[in-house]
Structure 1
Amino acid sequence: MTLMTVKSLAVSTQPDRISAMLRWASLFMAILLVSFSLGVSEASAAQGGKRRVNFDHSKTGFLLTEAHAKTNCESCHTNGIFKGTPKECSSCHVQSGRASASAKETKHIPTNKSCDSCHKSSSWKSVNFKHDGTDGTCSVCHNNISVAGKPARHPTTAAACDTCHKKTSAWLPASGHDHSKVVAGTCKSCHGVDATGMNSGHITTSQSCDTCHKTTGWKPVKMNHTGIVNGCTTCHTKNKPTNHTGSRATNCETCHTTTSFKGAKMNHTGIVNGCTNCHTKDKPTNHTGSRATNCETCHTTTSFKGAKMNHTGIVNGCTNCHTKDKPTNHT
């Protein structure tokens, strides 16, 4: 082989060696980049396993807010499975649930509503309680232990709270109160304190409301007059009916009883004239033809019978009253 041939061979093999070196260098750089990436990933995992992912969680139908936004993904998405994760609170907030989340307390009021119907994702407290589905179970929660219950001044009753109180607003006003289970004679424990009591024009009495009033309404009233001996006009109007006597007596109880206005026994004490103001002016058919115009001329206020005829002014016409037949022993 000549010298020229050796030099030509050396020149032709030099580019191949350079290309090979460049390929090895590229491979080495690729290995370095992969190693660096893995190191960064491991470092990120060691710092909490959180990576920024461009994903809108609200599109799943479950918006991440407050406490849920701070929860690790794997707490709900177990075994790396994202699809099919339940959205109901009870799937996690229950004993032996998917996640180690706080469950409903044993003293929680019985309800078939979802947690988020009342609770916020920030905290269990500050509850906006919806009472739907809690019929007849008020006292389970409203027992003055968990939350406010019946006050000390509440009327004695075994009825459920929602019998009278609305479930969607405050305790007052109460309506539709079922008085059937209220102990008789205890009306004033509520009426006159929180509920409507006696008005200013009510007749003075120490009787219980239910002595006269019904539990369905204040009116109509069946007045029990037991113990009422005077003061009728406090309740009964002072205007007497048109057919009332012209008596000067001002108190109803002077003539009337507490049973009924009818069948009044007229007390004529102090009545010395004016009989015809009440008694009709038409005399009975068997009445004397006396010219006297005033009843009290002959009659007393005790009875019409047994009248003592006042003959003053009668000078003739005796037979108008006295029978014309003389007695046998007449002179």
Structure 2
Amino acid sequence: MDLLRRGGRLLTALLVLATAAPAARAQLSPGPLATPHANLEGMKNCTQCHALGKGVEADKCLACHTLLAERITAGKGLHAGADHANCVSCHSEHHGADYALVHWEGGEANFDHAAAGFTLEGAHAALKCRQCHREDKIANPARLTAAHKDLDRSFLGLGTACLDCHADPHRGTLGDACLKCHGQSAWRPAAGFDHAGTQFPLRGKHADVTCDKCHPRSGAAETGDLRIAFKGVAFADCKDCHKDPHAGRFTATCASCHQETDWKAIRGKQFDHDLTRYPLRGKHAAVDCKGCHQPGAPHRPLAHDLCLDCHQDKHLGQFTVTGKVQDCARCHSVAGYSPSSFTVAQHAESSYPLAGAHLAVPCRDCHLPTEAQPAGRFRYGSTSCTQCHADPHGKSLALEGADRRCERCHTPESWRRVNYDHAATGFALADRHAEAACTACHVAIPGAKPGQLRFSDLRKDCASCHEDIHRGQFLREGEAIVDCARCHDSRDWMAARFDHTKDARFVLDGAHAPLACTACHLPIDIPAPGEAVTLRYRPLPTDCKSCHPTLVTAPQRGTP
């Protein structure tokens, strides 16, 4: 009995422990893991995902999910976004073996695919997820399998290039930039393709031809060997596509007579010269065909690279450089020979740039016709002013060679605007002289043409321009001309340089000092109306009675 009792107690204890173990485990684990994480079941694996006291950390997730870790590091895909850094915001565990580990906010079908780095547009937007995310579309399935990914459930491994999902019907002949021609709404028509950008733009009737008439197909899309010839299609000659109804009887090209708008539209009076290598523009369009093409040989090639192939050189070689005539189009256009299209900017590049008043001069005023050059003279031996302008100075300027250049005094802006430095003559203009007009000194030459002024053979002494109102009173012995500068300067007539103490025999001091000059220096005579007054300066006596006759008496006592 004791044995049975002891055995019963032992069995009871074992039963209690057996029944208590699941409850203890339930207190430690919130629930079973989903099947993909089943290998992490058990208390010893908790820290594989959970950080003590910190919950689930993304780094622990990425330690297993290495493919996602690589994409996050590269900044690619949905998980690289800052709003998806917390794994548990979308993924939850411990809800059972069959629990879906991804929480789709709003449902899987409403997922914003742009957040994954590939916006669904056009026909792509209507596709279900698993129409693209499937095993046969994964570029490297072995890599995902090695990372324990379920290829039927994974969203990884797809490329974003068209050819990652779609077969290339062009077999690589047109490159891999599909979107240059095709849109995402439909494969056909290729809305982005413009045949005008090819070597054979479609014009006229060609624009109405269906693609397969020129680009033949082979194989079938169902068998995966469909081929369409877009490269290597011959088109240089009409006969590459069209049968020659003339059976080779005509040597001329088809385009010589026929047009792309209609085979029956034969060229004649309505011949479209734009299709030739020389489209007719301007006055050329009004020229009769026979003016250029010889009768009986309308299709014989004509030289047309240069204007001189048809036109004579009216300038008779003036624009020939190193034996080659320059392009007429630099100055003329097909709209007409004149007016010239030669611009002021082009003239600035010539040996004589236009400046100042020359800019307003009509071309023909300078480039006048001559007997040797009926169309106008354009080449000159020099560019000196006298090539065009008569010298109004005649021989009045005693200058030769380079010193006789008009630019020494005049500017292109205006003939009357003179910038000559008068100091170069040895007679600098200062003070009142600088205010005088040129013609005040440079007067007309008697008997010369109007406008010819005297510039040479001019004296520099004052008396050559100014009358000596002192009538020679200050002429010294041996002098032919009075040196006015001894007393006067060019600021004004007042004798600023004259010092009565040094330059005269009578020193002014005492009551004499403040006297005006005219108190002692009286007029020599009464001048006629309009004449200058001449005062007597010398000879004058210096004794007192000569000025004070009534005040001079016998010396008083105490006076010297």
TM-score (ref. length: structure 2): 0.24
Whose Rg is larger? 2
TM-score (ref. length: structure 1): 0.36
Structure scoring higher RCO (CA < 8 A, sep ≥ 6) equals 1
